[in-house]
Every structure is written in C-alpha cells, then in structure tokens.
Amino acid sequence: MGDWLPAGGRGTMSDVPTLRVENLTTHFETRAGVVKAVDGVSFSVWRGRVLGLVGESGSGKTVTGFSILGLVDPPGRIVGGRILFQGEDLLAMPPARLQAIRGARIAMIFQDPMMTLNPVLRIETQMVETVLAHEAVDRETARQRARDALGTVGIPSPDERLRAYPHQFSGGMRQRVAIAIALLNRPDLIIADEPTTALDVTIQGQILFEVQKLCRERDLALIWITHDLAVVSGLADELCVMYAGRIVESGPVEEVLTRPLHPYTIGLIGSVPSRNRRGEPLRQIPGMTPPLLHLPPGCAFRTRCPRVLGDCASEIPLLPAGVGRTVRCIHTDVMVPA
C-alpha cells in the first residue's frame, strides 16, 4: 500500500463497521413484473476506509446507494434486509430519527451536482439551511461553517463565492460545492454516486485529491459508486463488483484487480483499454446484460460466461475465497481463456 497513509487515525477492520448492509433487497413492482434491482446485497464499510461499488448500467449500484438513504421512490420498495448504521437499523427507525441522521451523519454526493443544488438560491442560503436543519446554531456560526467547508474543498475566495448562484460555477466547482454541503454537518459516512463521471480528467483529478484528503483527515467512511475500475483502483480499499442486482465478487481492491476470480470481473478488467495491450483486440464480454425482468435462473452471468457448466443454473451463493474475499461462482478453478 502507498506511503501516503499515516499509520494512525485510520479505522481497522476490528471496529464496529460504520455501515453494515445485510441482505438488502429492493424491488420495483412494475406492470410488466417485479424488477429485482437489488437482490440480497451485503457489505460493510469502516471509518477511514473507502468502499468501491462497481458495476455497469442497470447493475443496481445506484439503487443500493439510494436504498441506504431511503430515497427509493415507488414503484420501488425495500422488501428485505437490514441497513445497520453504527449498529442501528435505518429501516426499522422512526421517520423523525432517520431524518435527523440523513444529511447530518450520512451525506450523499450525486453524479449531477444540480440534484443537490437549488438553481434559484444563493450557495450561502442553501448551505446555511443545511446546517440549521440539523443543529441549533446562530446564522453567523452556520455561515462560518459554510465558508470553511468551501475552503476545505479547494474553492478560492470562499467569502465571495458564498454569494454566488449555482449557475455561476463551472461543473467541477459545482461538484465541489456539493461535496462541501455533504461535509457541513461533519458526517461519518458519505455515499458518492459517480461524482466525477461528468467531469474532465484534470478536474476529476482535483476532486479525487480533495476526497482522498478528507477521508484521511476526517476519518470518514466513504462508499464510492462508479462504473470506472481505474478510478476505484487508485482510491478504494475494498471493492464490490455488482452484476444484475447482486454482488458477484468482493475483496481488497488490489487483490480483486490483480487476481479477479469471477468471470465477469475478469471480463470487465480485460475490457479496459490499457497500455499493455495496445493494438491487440480488447477482451470483450460477449452479449449484454440481460434485462432484469427476465433474468435466467441461477447465475445471472451464465448466458455470457466462458466457463458455464450445467450446474450454473442452480442458485449460486456468495462463497468465501481467501482472506476478506468472496465470489459468486462455483467454477473459479476453471481457467477463463484470455
């Protein structure tokens, strides 16, 4: 691991996890049938650590994030599982208690910062409101805190920028404001849903830099939802790979990326253009993600899998695969042709 992490200050695996999701199941009951967007997902994230939740469109990674904060709208419904935040089940909690935690102890950063920002209010108004919603402090204290938060995320001249409207910021700056708002009430957990996907490379680098620093300095737990394995490889400690609503592989990020076990993870890594294979055809995963309404029984990946065998049609559990690793595949001993 890099030398940039100070030895102290980071949570260890022996602590109680900041967030523990157990068997989370979120369904969308549509006229055409039940879409199992999230189907029995479990993971934990500790303070000071970053969990990467990786998957392609429709894999359920965003719905997982939304489920944790109770943001799933009908026809979507959480039909099972537990979400333990510092030991308390968010799903069993009275609404008032949930409201006190949401936005204060748990914050969310969305892909589009305009989902966080109100276009017709000054940044100052929005940030002060966020503080006052959770704490009885006077306006001036709230304003000070807003200004400090803007400074923390690297916005120059925060006093002036507080008076600005969202449209006066560039895309990268808006995302920084959204991150600053997420930090306002000093949360213990931040859920970031593709926050750098819409940004340019150099701006993405700046945001990743700020996020790394924050996580390190404030001992935050962070869930980073993305489709981009390359971003996660530089940022996360643990990795969960999702496919068709389920986690198919999890483990420490370096191990999963260097020795992937699930054929989907192997295919996904092979699909990334990289300097090692310039000019050669990319290894591609044949076919496409099956529609969630018509998932094949058993392993959802088996229709595209190079190592498929007859018993793949049975229900495959998430199996332990070495220290801290799990995989949802019963044929990991079969080599995948490169």
Partner 1 sequence: MSVVAEAASAHAKPAAAALPIVALDRVSRDFVQPQGIADRLAGLFGAVRAELRVRAVADVSFAIAEGEVVGLVGESGCGKSTLGRIVAGLLPPSAGRVLYRGVDVEALPPEGRRAYALGVQMVFQDPAASLNPRMRVAEIVGEAPRVHGLVPRTQSDAHVDEMLRRVGLDAGLKRRYPHQFSGGQRQRIGIARALAVRPQFIVCDEAVAALDVSIQAQVLNLFVRLREEFGLTYLFISHDLGVVEHVSDRVLVMYLGRVVEEAPTDELFAAPNHPYTQALLHEVPRIDTGRRLYRGIAGEIPSPLAPPPGCHFHPRCPHAMPICRTESPPLIEIAPGRRSACHLNAAA
Query: Residues in the site for partner 1, rule: CB under 8 A?
Result: 1-2, 4, 56-57, 170-173, 200-210, 212, 227-231, 233-235, 253-254, 257, 267-279, 281-285, 288-289
CA atoms within 13 A on the CB side of 335: 2
Identify which of residues 72 and 268 has a Cβ nearer to partner 1 in the complex.
268
Cβ at position 267, least distance to partner 1 in Å: 6
- For 165-180, what is the HEC assignment? CHHHCCHHHHHHHHHH
Identify which of residues 115 and 272 has a Cβ nearer to partner 1 in the complex.
272
Identify which of residues 19 and 266 has a Cβ nearer to partner 1 in the complex.
266
Cβ at position 276, least distance to partner 1 in Å: 7
Identify which of residues 90 and 223 has a Cβ nearer to partner 1 in the complex.
223
Cβ at position 235, least distance to partner 1 in Å: 8
Cα–Cα dist 113/119, whole Å: 11
Q: What letter represents residue 315's amino acid? A: E
Specify which residues 29 forms β-bridges with: 34
Nearest to 235 by CA among 57, 74, 6, 1: 1
228 contacts: CB under 8 Å, gap ≥ 6: 54, 197
Identify which of residues 5 and 313 has a Cβ nearer to partner 1 in the complex.
5
Cβ at position 105, least distance to partner 1 in Å: 26
Nearest to 313 by CA among 292, 294, 299, 293: 299
270 — phi, psi (to 5°)?
A: -65, -25
Cα–Cα dist 280/186, whole Å: 48
Identify which of residues 70 and 306 has a Cβ nearer to partner 1 in the complex.
306
Buried b (16+ CB within 10 A) or exposed e, 235-261: bbbbbbbbbbbbbbbbbbbebbbeebb
